[in-house]
Amino acid sequence: IKNGQPGPWAFYDEALRRRRNREREMEDQMEASLRDGDFFVMLQPEYSACGERLAGAEALVRWRGPDGGVIPPADFIPLFERNGFVLRLDAFVFESVCRLLRGWLDGGLAPPPVSVNLSPLHLHSADFVRTYEEILKRYSLPPDLIQLELTETALFDNVALLHQVVGRLREAGFRLLMDDFGTGYSSLKLLKNVPVDVIKLDKSFVDDIGSPRGESIIRTVIGLAHSLSMTVVAEGVEQKNQLDFLETAGCDLIQGYYFSRPLAPAAFAALLR
Protein backbone atom coordinates (compact mmCIF):
# COMPACT_ATOMS: atom_id res chain seq x y z
CA ILE A 1 0.00 0.00 0.00
CA LYS A 2 1.45 3.28 -1.21
CA ASN A 3 0.17 6.69 -0.09
CA GLY A 4 -2.75 4.89 1.56
CA GLN A 5 -3.97 3.60 -1.84
CA PRO A 6 -4.33 -0.12 -2.50
CA GLY A 7 -2.09 -1.20 -5.38
CA PRO A 8 -3.24 -3.44 -8.21
CA TRP A 9 -2.16 -6.49 -6.21
CA ALA A 10 -4.77 -5.72 -3.59
CA PHE A 11 -7.52 -6.08 -6.21
CA TYR A 12 -5.96 -9.26 -7.50
CA ASP A 13 -5.73 -10.71 -3.97
CA GLU A 14 -9.33 -9.77 -3.32
CA ALA A 15 -10.57 -11.45 -6.52
CA LEU A 16 -8.50 -14.54 -5.79
CA ARG A 17 -9.75 -14.69 -2.20
CA ARG A 18 -13.36 -14.46 -3.37
CA ARG A 19 -12.86 -17.20 -5.92
CA ARG A 20 -11.26 -19.48 -3.35
CA ASN A 21 -14.18 -18.92 -0.98
CA ARG A 22 -16.67 -19.61 -3.74
CA GLU A 23 -14.86 -22.83 -4.62
CA ARG A 24 -14.72 -23.92 -1.00
CA GLU A 25 -18.50 -23.35 -0.77
CA MET A 26 -19.07 -25.40 -3.91
CA GLU A 27 -16.92 -28.23 -2.57
CA ASP A 28 -18.87 -28.17 0.71
CA GLN A 29 -22.14 -28.47 -1.18
CA MET A 30 -21.39 -30.81 -4.08
CA GLU A 31 -22.04 -34.13 -2.32
CA ALA A 32 -25.33 -33.03 -0.81
CA SER A 33 -26.39 -31.52 -4.13
CA LEU A 34 -25.78 -34.78 -5.95
CA ARG A 35 -27.78 -36.64 -3.29
CA ASP A 36 -30.63 -34.10 -3.22
CA GLY A 37 -31.11 -33.86 -6.97
CA ASP A 38 -29.75 -30.34 -7.33
CA PHE A 39 -27.74 -31.35 -10.37
CA PHE A 40 -29.94 -31.86 -13.41
CA VAL A 41 -29.71 -32.48 -17.11
CA MET A 42 -30.83 -30.34 -20.06
CA LEU A 43 -30.99 -31.69 -23.59
CA GLN A 44 -30.04 -29.69 -26.65
CA PRO A 45 -31.55 -31.08 -29.87
CA GLU A 46 -29.44 -31.77 -32.94
CA TYR A 47 -31.10 -31.58 -36.33
CA SER A 48 -30.27 -32.81 -39.79
CA ALA A 49 -28.76 -29.95 -41.76
CA CYS A 50 -31.97 -29.44 -43.73
CA GLY A 51 -33.64 -28.91 -40.37
CA GLU A 52 -36.32 -31.50 -40.98
CA ARG A 53 -35.23 -34.33 -38.77
CA LEU A 54 -34.48 -34.41 -35.04
CA ALA A 55 -31.40 -36.62 -35.13
CA GLY A 56 -29.81 -36.42 -31.70
CA ALA A 57 -29.29 -34.46 -28.52
CA GLU A 58 -26.50 -33.49 -26.15
CA ALA A 59 -26.98 -33.82 -22.39
CA LEU A 60 -25.67 -30.74 -20.57
CA VAL A 61 -25.47 -30.59 -16.79
CA ARG A 62 -26.77 -27.73 -14.62
CA TRP A 63 -26.57 -27.03 -10.88
CA ARG A 64 -29.44 -25.50 -8.95
CA GLY A 65 -27.87 -23.17 -6.39
CA PRO A 66 -29.16 -22.57 -2.85
CA ASP A 67 -30.97 -19.38 -3.99
CA GLY A 68 -32.76 -21.29 -6.77
CA GLY A 69 -30.57 -19.80 -9.49
CA VAL A 70 -29.02 -22.07 -12.09
CA ILE A 71 -25.21 -22.33 -12.12
CA PRO A 72 -23.72 -23.03 -15.58
CA PRO A 73 -21.14 -25.83 -15.97
CA ALA A 74 -18.35 -23.38 -16.83
CA ASP A 75 -18.51 -22.26 -13.17
CA PHE A 76 -18.03 -25.71 -11.62
CA ILE A 77 -16.66 -28.26 -14.13
CA PRO A 78 -13.08 -26.89 -13.97
CA LEU A 79 -13.13 -27.19 -10.15
CA PHE A 80 -14.61 -30.69 -10.35
CA GLU A 81 -11.94 -31.71 -12.82
CA ARG A 82 -9.35 -30.64 -10.27
CA ASN A 83 -10.94 -32.40 -7.30
CA GLY A 84 -12.10 -35.48 -9.21
CA PHE A 85 -15.82 -35.05 -8.50
CA VAL A 86 -16.49 -34.73 -12.25
CA LEU A 87 -16.16 -38.52 -12.52
CA ARG A 88 -19.20 -39.01 -10.30
CA LEU A 89 -21.07 -36.14 -11.89
CA ASP A 90 -20.53 -37.56 -15.38
CA ALA A 91 -21.76 -40.97 -14.22
CA PHE A 92 -24.82 -39.25 -12.74
CA VAL A 93 -25.52 -37.50 -16.07
CA PHE A 94 -25.02 -40.78 -17.90
CA GLU A 95 -27.47 -42.58 -15.63
CA SER A 96 -29.99 -39.71 -15.85
CA VAL A 97 -29.89 -40.02 -19.65
CA CYS A 98 -30.34 -43.81 -19.43
CA ARG A 99 -33.38 -43.32 -17.19
CA LEU A 100 -34.89 -40.79 -19.61
CA LEU A 101 -34.27 -43.02 -22.63
CA ARG A 102 -35.84 -46.00 -20.84
CA GLY A 103 -38.91 -43.95 -19.96
CA TRP A 104 -39.34 -42.74 -23.54
CA LEU A 105 -38.92 -46.22 -25.00
CA ASP A 106 -41.46 -47.58 -22.50
CA GLY A 107 -43.81 -44.80 -23.57
CA GLY A 108 -43.58 -45.90 -27.20
CA LEU A 109 -41.37 -43.03 -28.32
CA ALA A 110 -38.37 -43.42 -30.62
CA PRO A 111 -35.60 -41.23 -29.14
CA PRO A 112 -32.50 -40.41 -31.21
CA PRO A 113 -29.01 -41.14 -29.80
CA VAL A 114 -28.13 -38.87 -26.88
CA SER A 115 -24.61 -37.57 -26.36
CA VAL A 116 -23.09 -37.54 -22.89
CA ASN A 117 -19.88 -35.66 -22.06
CA LEU A 118 -16.96 -37.63 -20.69
CA SER A 119 -14.39 -35.59 -18.80
CA PRO A 120 -10.81 -36.31 -19.91
CA LEU A 121 -10.21 -37.46 -16.34
CA HIS A 122 -11.96 -40.72 -17.27
CA LEU A 123 -9.17 -41.49 -19.69
CA HIS A 124 -6.68 -42.21 -16.92
CA SER A 125 -8.01 -45.76 -16.72
CA ALA A 126 -10.53 -48.01 -18.46
CA ASP A 127 -12.15 -49.09 -15.18
CA PHE A 128 -15.16 -46.81 -15.54
CA VAL A 129 -16.27 -48.61 -18.71
CA ARG A 130 -17.60 -51.55 -16.70
CA THR A 131 -19.62 -49.22 -14.45
CA TYR A 132 -21.13 -47.55 -17.50
CA GLU A 133 -21.93 -50.93 -19.04
CA GLU A 134 -23.65 -52.01 -15.83
CA ILE A 135 -25.79 -48.90 -15.76
CA LEU A 136 -26.74 -49.46 -19.39
CA LYS A 137 -27.69 -53.05 -18.57
CA ARG A 138 -29.76 -51.98 -15.57
CA TYR A 139 -31.92 -49.91 -17.93
CA SER A 140 -31.69 -52.57 -20.67
CA LEU A 141 -30.67 -50.07 -23.31
CA PRO A 142 -28.81 -50.72 -26.56
CA PRO A 143 -25.43 -48.94 -26.26
CA ASP A 144 -25.83 -47.27 -29.64
CA LEU A 145 -28.51 -45.02 -28.16
CA ILE A 146 -25.70 -43.32 -26.23
CA GLN A 147 -22.85 -41.39 -27.70
CA LEU A 148 -19.88 -40.47 -25.52
CA GLU A 149 -18.21 -37.11 -26.19
CA LEU A 150 -14.45 -37.07 -25.71
CA THR A 151 -12.35 -33.91 -25.86
CA GLU A 152 -8.83 -33.47 -27.04
CA THR A 153 -6.44 -33.07 -24.14
CA ALA A 154 -2.78 -33.30 -23.36
CA LEU A 155 -3.43 -36.80 -22.04
CA PHE A 156 -4.19 -37.82 -25.58
CA ASP A 157 -0.43 -37.83 -25.95
CA ASN A 158 -0.58 -41.11 -24.08
CA VAL A 159 -1.74 -42.96 -27.16
CA ALA A 160 -1.36 -46.43 -25.66
CA LEU A 161 -3.70 -45.68 -22.77
CA LEU A 162 -6.09 -43.86 -25.04
CA HIS A 163 -6.23 -46.84 -27.35
CA GLN A 164 -7.03 -49.10 -24.44
CA VAL A 165 -9.89 -46.94 -23.12
CA VAL A 166 -11.34 -46.25 -26.55
CA GLY A 167 -11.03 -49.95 -27.44
CA ARG A 168 -12.97 -50.92 -24.32
CA LEU A 169 -15.67 -48.34 -25.05
CA ARG A 170 -16.05 -49.62 -28.60
CA GLU A 171 -16.17 -53.23 -27.42
CA ALA A 172 -18.98 -52.18 -25.11
CA GLY A 173 -20.77 -50.85 -28.20
CA PHE A 174 -20.81 -47.15 -27.39
CA ARG A 175 -20.70 -44.62 -30.20
CA LEU A 176 -17.82 -42.18 -29.77
CA LEU A 177 -17.65 -38.52 -30.65
CA MET A 178 -14.65 -36.21 -30.75
CA ASP A 179 -15.82 -32.94 -29.18
CA ASP A 180 -14.55 -29.42 -29.92
CA PHE A 181 -12.79 -30.78 -32.98
CA GLY A 182 -10.05 -28.54 -34.26
CA THR A 183 -9.31 -26.65 -31.04
CA GLY A 184 -6.51 -28.96 -29.90
CA TYR A 185 -3.12 -28.85 -31.47
CA SER A 186 -3.14 -32.50 -32.45
CA SER A 187 -6.56 -32.99 -34.05
CA LEU A 188 -5.19 -34.71 -37.12
CA LYS A 189 -2.98 -37.05 -35.13
CA LEU A 190 -6.02 -37.94 -33.07
CA LEU A 191 -8.09 -38.68 -36.14
CA LYS A 192 -5.37 -41.03 -37.23
CA ASN A 193 -5.14 -42.82 -33.87
CA VAL A 194 -8.63 -42.79 -32.44
CA PRO A 195 -11.52 -44.44 -34.23
CA VAL A 196 -14.52 -42.23 -33.52
CA ASP A 197 -17.92 -42.27 -35.23
CA VAL A 198 -18.58 -38.55 -35.13
CA ILE A 199 -16.61 -35.33 -34.93
CA LYS A 200 -18.10 -32.16 -33.54
CA LEU A 201 -16.80 -29.09 -35.26
CA ASP A 202 -16.09 -26.45 -32.62
CA LYS A 203 -18.14 -23.27 -32.48
CA SER A 204 -15.01 -21.22 -33.19
CA PHE A 205 -15.04 -22.65 -36.74
CA VAL A 206 -18.73 -21.95 -37.17
CA ASP A 207 -18.04 -18.36 -36.09
CA ASP A 208 -15.60 -18.07 -39.02
CA ILE A 209 -18.28 -18.73 -41.62
CA GLY A 210 -18.30 -15.73 -43.93
CA SER A 211 -14.52 -15.66 -44.25
CA PRO A 212 -13.16 -17.54 -47.30
CA ARG A 213 -10.31 -19.13 -45.33
CA GLY A 214 -12.64 -20.23 -42.53
CA GLU A 215 -15.10 -21.73 -45.00
CA SER A 216 -12.37 -23.49 -46.88
CA ILE A 217 -11.14 -25.15 -43.69
CA ILE A 218 -14.65 -26.34 -42.78
CA ARG A 219 -15.21 -27.81 -46.25
CA THR A 220 -11.90 -29.65 -45.99
CA VAL A 221 -12.63 -31.02 -42.50
CA ILE A 222 -16.06 -32.26 -43.61
CA GLY A 223 -14.54 -33.92 -46.67
CA LEU A 224 -11.84 -35.55 -44.58
CA ALA A 225 -14.36 -36.80 -42.01
CA HIS A 226 -16.64 -38.22 -44.69
CA SER A 227 -13.75 -39.96 -46.41
CA LEU A 228 -13.14 -41.70 -43.07
CA SER A 229 -16.88 -42.56 -42.82
CA MET A 230 -17.43 -40.22 -39.91
CA THR A 231 -20.43 -38.02 -39.27
CA VAL A 232 -19.92 -34.28 -38.71
CA VAL A 233 -21.91 -32.21 -36.23
CA ALA A 234 -21.46 -28.44 -36.13
CA GLU A 235 -21.96 -26.78 -32.73
CA GLY A 236 -22.93 -23.25 -31.87
CA VAL A 237 -24.90 -22.56 -35.04
CA GLU A 238 -26.84 -19.37 -34.41
CA GLN A 239 -27.36 -17.71 -37.81
CA LYS A 240 -29.20 -18.60 -40.97
CA ASN A 241 -26.13 -17.89 -43.14
CA GLN A 242 -24.10 -20.35 -41.02
CA LEU A 243 -26.77 -23.01 -41.46
CA ASP A 244 -26.96 -22.41 -45.21
CA PHE A 245 -23.21 -22.69 -45.62
CA LEU A 246 -23.00 -25.86 -43.50
CA GLU A 247 -25.83 -27.51 -45.41
CA THR A 248 -24.16 -26.74 -48.74
CA ALA A 249 -20.81 -27.96 -47.40
CA GLY A 250 -22.41 -31.31 -46.56
CA CYS A 251 -22.34 -31.05 -42.76
CA ASP A 252 -24.56 -33.82 -41.37
CA LEU A 253 -25.98 -32.43 -38.14
CA ILE A 254 -26.54 -29.02 -36.61
CA GLN A 255 -26.56 -28.07 -32.94
CA GLY A 256 -27.12 -24.51 -31.88
CA TYR A 257 -29.44 -21.77 -30.80
CA TYR A 258 -30.63 -21.33 -34.39
CA PHE A 259 -32.72 -24.50 -33.97
CA SER A 260 -32.94 -24.79 -30.21
CA ARG A 261 -31.39 -23.95 -26.86
CA PRO A 262 -30.92 -26.78 -24.35
CA LEU A 263 -34.35 -27.96 -23.20
CA ALA A 264 -35.73 -29.53 -20.04
CA PRO A 265 -36.31 -33.27 -20.65
CA ALA A 266 -40.11 -32.87 -20.75
CA ALA A 267 -39.86 -30.22 -23.46
CA PHE A 268 -37.45 -32.43 -25.39
CA ALA A 269 -39.82 -35.40 -25.09
CA ALA A 270 -42.58 -33.24 -26.57
CA LEU A 271 -40.48 -33.02 -29.75
CA LEU A 272 -40.54 -36.82 -29.99
CA ARG A 273 -44.32 -37.00 -30.03
Binding to ligand C2E by CB under 6 A, coded x per residue (else -) over 127-146, reads --------------------
**How many other CB atoms are found less than 10 A from the CB of residue 26?**
19
Q: What are phi and psi of 124, to 5 degrees?
A: -75, -20
Region binding ligand C2E by CB under 6 A among candidate stretches 47-55, 156-164, 219-227, 234-242: 234-242
- Give the residue with the Cβ less far from ligand C2E, 11 or 72: 72
For residues 145 and 130, what is the distance between their CA atoms, to the nearest angstrom? 17
Among 26, 46, 97, 119, binds ligand C2E (CB under 6 A): 119
Return the exposure string of 100-120: e unless at least 16 CB atoms fall within 10 Å of the residue's CB, then b. bbbebbeeeeebbbbbbbbbe
The one of Ca ion, ligand C2E, none whose footprint includes residue 257, by CB under 5 to 8 A per kind, is ligand C2E
Contact between 265 and ligand C2E (CB under 6 A)? no
The one of ligand C2E, Ca ion, none whose footprint includes residue 73, by CB under 5 to 8 A per kind, is ligand C2E
For residues 118 and 270, what is the distance between their CA atoms, to the nearest angstrom? 27
Contact between 149 and Ca ion (CB under 5 A)? yes
> Smallest distance from the beta carbon of 190 to ligand C2E, in angstroms?
16
Q: What angle do CA 269, 270, 273 make, to 5 degrees?
A: 95
> Smallest distance from the beta carbon of 20 to Ca ion, in angstroms?
27
Number of residues that bind ligand C2E (CB under 6 A): 22
- Give the residue with the Cβ less far from ligand C2E, 53 or 261: 261
For residues 238 and 242, what is the distance between their CA atoms, to the nearest angstrom? 7
Return the exposure string of 254-272: e unless at least 16 CB atoms fall within 10 Å of the residue's CB, then b. bbbeebbebbebeebbeee
Contact between 246 and ligand C2E (CB under 6 A)? no
Contact between 152 and ligand C2E (CB under 6 A)? no
In this structure, are strands 54-64 and 70-71 parallel, antiparallel, or unpaired?
Answer: antiparallel
How far is the CA of 263 from the CAs of 61, 122, 266, 268, in angstroms?
A: 11, 26, 8, 6
Contact between 262 and ligand C2E (CB under 6 A)? yes
> Smallest distance from the beta carbon of 117 to Ca ion, in angstroms?
5
Q: What angle do helix axes 86-106 and 265-272 make, rounded to 10 degrees?
A: 40
Touching ligand C2E, residues 153-212 (CB under 6 A): 179-180
Contact between 117 and ligand C2E (CB under 6 A)? yes
Binding site for ligand C2E (CB under 6 A): 44, 60-61, 72-74, 77, 86, 90, 93, 117, 119, 179-180, 235-238, 255-257, 262
Binding site for Ca ion (CB under 5 A): 117, 149, 179-180, 202, 235
